[in-house]
Amino acid sequence: MSFPYYRNERHAEPRPQPYVPVPERLLRAFAHDPLAVGVYLAVARCALSTRGPIPLSPADISDWFTGTRTRNGAILRRIRTLVATGWLIAEHGQAIKLRLFPAWAPDQPWNPDAPQVGKPTGVRVRRVPLDLLDSYVGRIDPQPGRRAALITRYIDRPLLDLVDLGTYALTALTMIAPTPRLMLAGAVGHRR
């Protein structure tokens, strides 16, 4: 006996995995700087959640990806570089923190209300699974002003960091060696 609402799993279409899109032009521009790619990914992940500019400080990003709240000069330099090259848009609001938002290319910001967050035709992307950030790093709830972002995770410390995520995105285009943590997590295979 079959029921009309019964779904046969053998014939079910696989659901697409949610992902964070990273423009291939950005990957080519920062092919030798996985930390910059990781910072872009962090901002893009937040933009998908909040659907708008995000108040993030380097200390918030450091806390999210290392488990310790420090003023990370390397993260600040990458934010400044990404803003200067047009891959991130920074708004100076009334708050202390910059409000950051990703762009598809210089002068082409994401549009959270459009399909595919406004990706222009012809822009090729590398898809980084949301699960890689949410499960291995945790989730962040950015807070305006001087308040620290709220970090939620099911583990004591993040299992991946910004360089690991940047390296994951770069492995699609370059022969960059995967980090030991990416290999341990099973996110990428062994390369010869």
Measured CA to CA in angstroms, residue 155 lies from 68, 135, 137, 159 at distances of 14, 9, 9, 8
- In this predicted structure, what is the pLDDT of residue 86? 92
Count how many residues are written for the chain: 192
Query: What does the pLDDT look like over 124-171, one tens digit per residue?
Result: 888 888 888 878 888 887 888 777 777 777 777 778 888 888 888 888
Nearest of 137, 134, 143 to residue 157 by alpha carbon: 137
The helix (H) or strand (E) run that includes residue 128 is: strand 125-129
Q: For residue 1, what pLDDT is reported?
A: 40
Q: CA-CA distance, 29 to 1, in Å (whole number)?
A: 59
Residues 89-115 have a mean pLDDT of 80
- Segment 38-88, tens digit of pLDDT: 999 989 888 888 888 888 888 888 878 876 665 678 888 998 999 999 999
Q: In which element (H, E) is residue 104 found?
A: strand 98-105
pLDDT of residue 72: 76
Cα distances (Å, whole numbers) of residue 51 to 45, 112, 123, 174: 10, 5, 20, 30
* H helices present in the chain, as ranges: 24-29, 34-50, 58-66, 73-84, 130-136, 162-170, 180-185
Residues with Cβ within 8 Å of residue 61, at least 6 apart in sequence? 39, 42, 72, 75, 162
Statement: residue 5 has pLDDT above 60: no
